[in-house]
């Protein structure tokens, strides 16, 4: 199974960016994810045309399962 953690951050002008982290550490808690996205947002390291992306918007874990068939 593959996992992708998606973290979305935005600025006051509603411009946004989605970070996709492939195969994050197993067993991440909601608190760890909240702390992580808040830390990224507070850093102001990402910017769009209308300002720094400093507002956490959403986080989700996407899990992809593969089933192979003999043919």
Residue 6 belongs to a domain: yes
Instruction: Provide the whole-model pTM.
Output: 0.86
Three-state SS at 42: helix
Domain count, the chain: 1
Residue 71 belongs to a domain: no
The string of pLDDT tens digits covering residues 30-69 is: 999 999 999 999 999 999 999 999 999 999 999 999 999 9
Question: What strands, in cross-sheet order, belong to the sheet with 55-64?
Answer: 16-22, 2-10, 55-64
Domain that includes residue 24, residue range: 2-64
Three-state SS at 48: strand
Residue 70 belongs to a domain: no
């Amino acid at each position: 199974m593959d996992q992708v953690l998606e973290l979305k951050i935005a600025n006051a002008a509603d411009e946004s960016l989605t970070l996709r982290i492939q195969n994050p550490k197993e067993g991440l808690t909601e608190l760890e994810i909240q702390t992580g996205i808040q830390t990224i947002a507070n850093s102001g390291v990402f910017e769009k045309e209308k300002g720094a992306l400093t507002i956490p918007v959403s986080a989700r874990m996407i899990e992809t399962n593969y089933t192979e068939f003999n043919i």
